[in-house]
């Protein structure tokens, strides 16, 4: 079957390309899924460069979340049938026409969602939920500043922040991105160029915000610290800018702020019961129509390199989807 493969690590994706791989029948407890859509995120991009903490052995097929149709059941699998529409996940392997995954790594794709939306809903919304609810303790009436607000994870935080009753200020680099953030629920949208602290202070009458959701890092992290009100929480989600921000312990002491790390996957691994609760709550909100993934671009499998280049250029609005079995 066809798959998008990483044969060599490189910053410009020159070591990536379309290839052909074999796929065995699913083993005990596994199912085989025809992948109709797979979402790519920043971890997938970093893996192509060897810059992520998980470093698969070369060659490998990237892609850790997708949606499709069950085509085969392994021994002992119950509660699923061939033909079921599912959302599935795996550490790697989803940028392929089919994949074997544990039955425990699947859930039903709501009838109201397309395969593209199903592929996009897991990691972004779970990250936002762990950040805002589990780690950030966001309360109704508080003010949330979302950096990178037009990306897949940023938009999820905008939507969820509003759902939780917060006032949401979205920060993004272009007019188009800011308009999208407002469309998805942000109360205000500001330019994320250096100097955004002034806009935040003006919008909050000098008080600052209660929490910052930051998947960007670097200079954005540094300035966002100065946007926090007394007792505020800096939610460290990632470092898309390529630089890890720094904070002095004295500043945290004087402002009474908290620097809170967010690792949604690790959260679920260390607390499986709460991890399952996280997924169930997100699934419920999606099925109720309270959360809807925004698909910014869709590519066929043979154009996967173009999809990664779009992500690297920061040109994406919402999630980027690859369709291994495009019509």
In a domain, 285, yes or no: no
Is residue 248's pLDDT more than 90?
no
Residue 103 sits in the same domain as residue 10: yes
User: Cβ atoms within 10 A of the Cβ of 131, count?
Assistant: 31
Is residue 71's pLDDT more than 80?
yes
40 backbone dihedrals φ, ψ, rounded to 5°: -110, 145
Residue 213 sits in the same domain as residue 304: no
Structural domain ending residue among the three candidates 266, 281, 310:
266
Structural domain ending residue among the three candidates 266, 285, 313:
266
In a domain, 162, yes or no: yes
Residue 200 sits in the same domain as residue 220: yes
In a domain, 208, yes or no: yes
Is residue 327's pLDDT more than 80?
no
- Asked if residue 121 lies in contact with residue 282, where contact means CB atoms within 8 angstroms, the answer is yes
108 backbone dihedrals φ, ψ, rounded to 5°: -65, 135
List pLDDT tens digits, range 9-61. 999 999 999 999 999 999 999 999 999 999 999 889 999 999 888 899 999 99
In a domain, 274, yes or no: no
Burial of 31 from C-beta contacts in 10 A (0-12 / 13-18 / 19+) = buried
List pLDDT tens digits, range 265-311. 899 999 999 999 999 999 999 989 999 999 999 999 999 999 999 99
90-104, 157-171, 311-325: lowest mean pLDDT where? 311-325
In a domain, 286, yes or no: no
DSSP summary character for residue 264: H
16 backbone dihedrals φ, ψ, rounded to 5°: -110, 150
Is residue 262's pLDDT more than 90?
yes
- Asked if residue 60 lies in contact with residue 79, where contact means CB atoms within 8 angstroms, the answer is no
pLDDT at residue 154 in the model: 95
List the one residue out of 242, 215, 191, 270 whose CA is nearest residue 11: 242
User: Encoding tokens for residue 243?
Assistant: 């630089």
Is residue 255's pLDDT more than 70?
yes
Residue 127 sits in the same domain as residue 117: no
Residue numbers of the domain that contains 245: 123-266
In a domain, 272, yes or no: no
Residue 150 sits in the same domain as residue 257: yes
pLDDT at residue 121 in the model: 86
Residue 30 sits in the same domain as residue 115: yes
Is residue 326's pLDDT more than 80?
no
The SS3 of residue 208 is coil
In a domain, 194, yes or no: yes
Residue 84 sits in the same domain as residue 133: no
The average pLDDT across 216-241 equals 94
Cβ density class 264-294: b for 16+ within 10 Å, e for less: bbebbeeeeeebeebbeebbebbeeeebbbb
Residue 139 sits in the same domain as residue 261: yes
- Asked if residue 170 lies in contact with residue 182, where contact means CB atoms within 8 angstroms, the answer is yes
Residue 162 sits in the same domain as residue 184: yes
- Asked if residue 219 lies in contact with residue 197, where contact means CB atoms within 8 angstroms, the answer is no
- Asked if residue 48 lies in contact with residue 6, where contact means CB atoms within 8 angstroms, the answer is yes
% the chain with pLDDT above 90 = 87
- Supply the CATH number for residue 314's domain: 3.90.180.10
pLDDT at residue 10 in the model: 92
- ∠ at Cα 51 (225, 181), nearest 5°? 45
Domain count, the chain: 2
Burial of 36 from C-beta contacts in 10 A (0-12 / 13-18 / 19+) = buried
List the one residue out of 160, 117, 166 whose CA is nearest residue 323: 117
Residue 62 sits in the same domain as residue 182: no
Scan for tokens 């953030």, then name that residue. Answer: 181
Residue 317 sits in the same domain as residue 247: no
Residue 51 sits in the same domain as residue 102: yes
Structural domain ending residue among the three candidates 250, 266, 282:
266
Scan for tokens 């779970």, then name that residue. Answer: 126
List the one residue out of 131, 219, 149 whose CA is nearest residue 185: 149
Q: How far is CA 124 from the centre of its chain?
A: 3
């Amino acid at each position: 079957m066809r798959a998008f493969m990483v044969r060599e690590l490189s910053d410009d994706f020159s070591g990536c390309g379309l290839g052909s791989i074999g796929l065995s029948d699913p083993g005990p407890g596994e199912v085989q899924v025809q992948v109709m859509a797979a979402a790519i995120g920043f971890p997938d991009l970093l893996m192509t460069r060897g810059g992520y903490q998980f470093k698969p052995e070369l060659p490998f097929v990237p892609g850790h979340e997708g949606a499709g149709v069950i085509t085969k059941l392994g021994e002992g699998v119950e509660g699923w049938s061939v033909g079921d529409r599912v959302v599935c996940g795996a550490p790697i392997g989803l940028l392929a026409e089919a994949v074997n995954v544990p039955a425990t790594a699947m859930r039903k794709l709501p009838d109201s969602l397309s395969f593209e939306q199903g592929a996009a809903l897991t990691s972004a919304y779970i990250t936002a939920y762990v950040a805002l609810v589990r780690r950030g303790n966001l309360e109704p009436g508080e003010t949330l500043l979302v950096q990178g607000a037009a990306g897949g994870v940023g938009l999820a935080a905008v939507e969820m922040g509003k759902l939780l009753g917060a006032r949401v200020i979205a920060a993004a680099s272009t007019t188009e991105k800011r308009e999208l953030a407002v469309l998805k629920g942000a109360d205000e949208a500001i330019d994320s160029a250096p100097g955004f602290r002034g806009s935040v202070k003006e919008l909050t009458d000098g008080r600052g915000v209660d929490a910052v959701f930051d998947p960007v890092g670097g200079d954005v992290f540094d300035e966002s610290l100065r946007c926090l009100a007394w007792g505020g929480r800096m939610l460290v989600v990632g470092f898309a800018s390529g630089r890890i921000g720094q904070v002095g312990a004295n500043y945290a002491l004087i402002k009474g702020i908290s620097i809170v790390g967010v690792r949604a996957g690790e959260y679920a691994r260390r607390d499986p019961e709460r991890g399952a609760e996280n997924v169930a709550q997100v699934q419920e909100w999606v099925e109720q129509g309270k959360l809807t993934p925004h698909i910014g671009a869709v590519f066929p499998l043979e154009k996967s390199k173009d999809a990664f280049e779009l992500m690297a250029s920061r040109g994406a609005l919402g999630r980027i989807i690859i369709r291994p079995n495009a019509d």
